[in-house]
Amino acid sequence: MTPQEALLKAIGIVGSQTRLAREIGNGITQAHVHYWLTQAPVVPAEHCPTIEYIVKREVRCEQLNPRVNWWVLRA
């Protein structure tokens, strides 16, 4: 699964890009989510744990951003 596919799955779980942005908070807008989906190679690492939590681990940080070693989160 690519990071974009993982993000699409997360968006599908919550219902929309706008809803996901609102649940992430911290000034994240639908435009950020759209950028991650269409242009960014991965979801920024600082938002991956929040997204994983929002979707109740149906999408994992490793799927959203495989560039980071997430073992610390899993320990």
* DSSP character string of the chain: --HHHHHHHHHHHHSSHHHHHHHH-TT--HHHHHHHHHT-SS--GGGHHHHHHHTTTSS-HHHH-TTS-THHHH-
What is the model's pLDDT at position 25?
97
What is the model's pLDDT at position 11?
98
What is the model's pLDDT at position 75?
73
Range 3-74 has CATH code 1.10.260.40: yes
What is the model's pLDDT at position 72?
80
pLDDT at 73 over 80: no
- Per-domain boundaries in the chain: 3-74
pTM: 0.93
